[in-house]
Amino acid sequence: MKKYLVGVDIGGTNMRVSIASQEKIIIKVVQKTKLEGDEHTVPNQVVSLIDIACQRAEVQKEEILALGVGTIGPFKKRNGFLYVVTANICGALAKERDVIPNNWKEIPLQKDLSEHYGNLRFDNDCVAAVNAERIFGAGQHKDNFVYVTISTGVGGGIVQDGKIIRGKNANAGHIGHIYIAEDGPQCGCGNYGDFEVLCSGLAIARDYGSKTAEEAFVAYRNKEDKAIKVIQRAARNIGRGLASVNAILDTELFIIGGGVFMNNKDILLPLIKEEFYRSFPTLSEEVEIIPSPLEDYLGDIGAFSLVIPKDWIEHWKNIKPWTTAPKPIKLN
Amino acid sequence: MKKYLVGVDIGGTNMRVSIASQEKIIIKVVQKTKLEGDEHTVPNQVVSLIDIACQRAEVQKEEILALGVGTIGPFKKRNGFLYVVTANICGALAKERDVIPNNWKEIPLQKDLSEHYGNLRFDNDCVAAVNAERIFGAGQHKDNFVYVTISTGVGGGIVQDGKIIRGKNANAGHIGHIYIAEDGPQCGCGNYGDFEVLCSGLAIARDYGSKTAEEAFVAYRNKEDKAIKVIQRAARNIGRGLASVNAILDTELFIIGGGVFMNNKDILLPLIKEEFYRSFPTLSEEVEIIPSPLEDYLGDIGAFSLVIPKDWIEHWKNIKPWTTAPKPIKLN
């Protein structure tokens, strides 16, 4: 009997697989994303990681109801399948790396996985996240909201007029690549002065001159001038980026997550709001901006939410299986 | 028998009313938008303009099938009705005017009109325009496209995943108010450095130092350095603005209209494209950018398209009644 959901969360650094029954998340495994080999390396790794998780949890492949995949993007469509364009998966700033360990241009992720799993739903990780917020989080009962991650990079997923929007290649929500400044540093995507290159964790570290954004936030808390300047500018530009997204969408709510934001929301949220509400009042004044209530769990729930059967939803709202999930098993 | 459609196009300068039968547009009247009086002035003017058009065309009110209204925005929602917030309707840069001839904050346009007309559809003028492009223009058979006007101001309307998107107050598509530069002149909306304040006709005239944008384009054609610099910067920022919209929506097609663009598309279109395709290639390379094929008629067809009965559409595609419409009658 088909009774398990598989959730897959594919990032440029790590890949995570979780399996859930209607009652609980029964296993989580995590492995570094493999970047060497041919263009089937990543899909093959997903398949083998699912196999390992199934074995350890004593789940038969025939018992898998559906597979939800939230993955790093962006995508191109080829013969109806979404291929992952690999700039991000090999490090957003690939050109600054000494070596890219492969010659991938596009990974046939959806195509390869659909050969193994019939019931497959495949989306950008931030689209999976906004879907989780829609079903289980801050987006319940809202028709218009945007999930935004401020992390190593900047990304987003959009619910508009009651539906997730996707666009021609399922790339809607790539808010990290809207322009914010007329000039500015070059983003991994090629743009100069976009949201990501001005506001991401990498950007804050670069502007402060540290290895991680966290060092800049520590210095900010110690009232160090340079850190204050760098973080105020980043936060101001986040506020302006959200105002641009809102001018296009007329949304109700921004739900912000991502490690850089969540670890420093006491600093960032007031600064972001200050700038956001300074923009065109008629458009901005009815919009809410809040931290994601589900952030720590979005990798899991995002992927599961793409395939969860309708009759599981109310039960999951009650038992919140993500809060009782086992610790992830790290695989080499 | 109900057999006429009324189309109303409300701008900050002029108001236009057209009446159409299934076979043709039978009358068009135009009048300067009245800005003095109480907040019912504009809706009252619409009602009286429709009455005049009906009298002249010998149409009885009972014969009106439906009323489509495309109006300047933005909107606020009050008790389910859209009110027009009046910054734009009194001149986008109201603060620079010597006198604002009224104390309106919000015009109860939809509410007042719905008291006179049962079958009323009400939308932003650029939303009406994108709807016309969807039914009769370049958006036919496309699921994702954006209509953009580059005129005195900058505005837009969006079809996404097969549907017009509206947002919480039907303000989706206000692309003129996305940020393009970290600093810059102040827009009528309050923003510094947004799309409209950097790229509109008013912006080009301001930067060139002329009364109208047209003078700058004439000078550009005469290879005058300052005009070249001003227009290249505006065009570059239009390209960047479109790239931002596309990063959020993953669209297929931009349909550009508006007087400033249409009169100078030989200059602007190549410059806009050059900049647009420089942005994140994975997102930009499959997008088309074209001039609106319907531009001269969008005021009419936009409003009609909001209420056209399904069984008229094929016929109108054949007879293109907008091409044989009578000249507008100017009223004082």
Measured between alpha carbons, how far is A314 from A298 in angstroms, rounded to an integer? 18
Question: Is residue A190 within 8 angstroms of chain B, CB to CB?
Answer: yes
In chain A, what residues touch B167 (CB-CB under 8 Å)? Answer: 144, 160-161, 249-251
Size of interface A-B (CB pairs under 8 A): 165
pLDDT in tens, B40-88: 999 999 999 999 999 999 999 999 999 999 999 999 999 999 999 987 7
Nearest to A248 among B74, B178, B252 (CB): B178
**Which pair of tokens denotes residue B69?**
């209204």
Nearest to A167 among B160, B190, B244 (CB): B160
Question: Is pLDDT of B90 > 80?
Answer: no
DSSP annotation string for A112-158: HHHHH-SSEEEEEHHHHHHHHHHHHSTTTT-SSEEEEEESSSEEEEE
Question: Is residue A279 within 8 angstroms of chain B, CB to CB?
Answer: yes
Question: Is residue A163 within 8 angstroms of chain B, CB to CB?
Answer: yes
pLDDT in tens, B107-145: 999 999 999 998 999 999 999 999 999 999 999 999 999
Question: Is residue A74 within 8 angstroms of chain B, CB to CB?
Answer: yes
Contact A29, A83 (CB under 8 A): no
- CB contacts under 8 A, A 191-210 vs B, are 191, 194
Mean pLDDT of B310-329: 96
Q: Residue B99: its pLDDT value, please?
A: 62
Residue with tokens 């989706």: B172
Question: Is pLDDT of B197 > 50?
Answer: yes
Measured between alpha carbons, how far is A5 from A117 in angstroms, rounded to an integer? 12
Query: Does the distance separating the beta carbons of B279 and A178 come in below 8 Å?
Result: no
Contact B227, B263 (CB under 8 A): no
Backbone angles phi, psi at A136, to 5 degrees: -120, -10
In chain B, what residues touch A245 (CB-CB under 8 Å)? Answer: 248
Beta bridge partners, A256, equal A148, A291
Beta bridge partners, A120, equal A67
Give the side-chain half-sphere CA count within 13 A for B40: 8
Q: Residue B330: its pLDDT value, please?
A: 97
Contact B193, B203 (CB under 8 A): no
User: Does B4-127+295-331 carry CATH code 3.40.50.300?
Assistant: no
**Cα nearest neighbour of B279 on chain A:** A191
ipTM for the complex shown: 0.96
SS3 A331: strand
Nearest to B282 among A85, A166, A178 (CB): A85
A94 to A9, A21, A175: CA distances (angstroms): 21, 39, 20
Confidence of residue A250 (pLDDT cuts 50, 70, 90): very high
Question: Would the CA dihedral through B94, B100, B103, B109 be positive or negative?
Answer: negative
Nearest to B252 among A168, A176, A194 (CB): A168
In chain B, what residues touch A250 (CB-CB under 8 Å)? Answer: 166-172, 174
Measured between alpha carbons, how far is B268 from A235 in angstroms, rounded to an integer? 34
Residue with tokens 């068009």: B28
Q: Which residues contact residue A29 at a Cβ distance below 8 angstroms, ignoring those fewer than 6 apart? A: A16, A17, A18, A49, A52, A53, A56, A328, A329, A330, A331
Beta bridge partners, B76, equal B83
User: Does A140-291 carry CATH code 3.50.50.60?
Assistant: no
SS3 B67: strand
Question: Is pLDDT of A101 > 70?
Answer: yes
Question: Is residue B118 within 8 angstroms of chain A, CB to CB?
Answer: no
Q: Which of A117, A122, A198 is nearest to A153 (CA)?
A: A198
**Which pair of tokens denotes residue A47?**
């398949």
Burial of residue B269, with CB atoms counted within 10 A of its CB: 0-12 exposed, 13-18 middle, 19 or more buried:
middle
Measured between alpha carbons, how far is A164 from A300 in angstroms, rounded to an integer? 19
Whole-structure pTM value:
0.96
Return the HEC string of B23-62: CCEEEEEEEECCCCCCCCHHHHHHHHHHHHHHHHHCCCHH
Q: Residue B94: its pLDDT value, please?
A: 47
Q: Which of A177, A160, A307, A329 is nearest to A248 (CA)?
A: A160
**Cα nearest neighbour of A244 on chain B:** B178
Angle at B103 between CA B97 and CA B108, to 5 degrees: 120
Question: Is pLDDT of A94 > 50?
Answer: no
Question: Is pLDDT of A194 > 50?
Answer: yes
Measured between alpha carbons, how far is A163 from B30 in angstroms, rounded to an integer? 39
Mean pLDDT of B156-175: 98
Confidence of residue A95 (pLDDT cuts 50, 70, 90): low
Q: Residue B13: its pLDDT value, please?
A: 87
Which segments of chain B belong to CATH 3.30.420.40? 4-127+295-331, 140-291
Query: Does the distance separating the beta carbons of A241 and B191 come in below 8 Å?
Result: no
Q: Residue A16: its pLDDT value, please?
A: 96
* A105, A159, A249: best to mutate for the B interface, most B CBs within 10 A: A249
**Which pair of tokens denotes residue B278?**
């420089």
B313 to A203, A287, B2, B225, B321: CA distances (angstroms): 52, 38, 17, 49, 11
How big, in percent rounded to 5, are the helix, strand and coil portions of chain A? 40, 25, 35
Measured between alpha carbons, how far is A19 from A28 in angstroms, rounded to an integer? 7
Question: Is residue B89 within 8 angstroms of chain A, CB to CB?
Answer: no
Question: Is residue A174 within 8 angstroms of chain B, CB to CB?
Answer: yes
Least Cα separation, residue B40 to chain A (angstroms): 20
Question: Is pLDDT of B152 > 70?
Answer: yes
Q: Residue A91: its pLDDT value, please?
A: 61
Comparing A94 with A288, the larger pLDDT belongs to A288
Question: Is pLDDT of A262 > 60?
Answer: yes
Q: Residue A88: its pLDDT value, please?
A: 74
Residue A328 is given by DSSP the state P
DSSP annotation string for B250-308: --SEEEEESHHHHHTHHHHHHHHHHHHTTS-HHHHTT-EEEE-TTGGGHHHHHHHHTT-
Mean pLDDT of B232-255: 98
Q: Which of A125, A124, A127, A81 is nearest to A106 (CA)?
A: A81
A144 to A4, A85, A133: CA distances (angstroms): 31, 28, 12
Q: Residue B92: its pLDDT value, please?
A: 54
SS3 A281: helix
Query: Does the distance separating the beta carbons of B158 and A167 come in below 8 Å?
Result: no
Question: Is pLDDT of A43 > 90?
Answer: yes
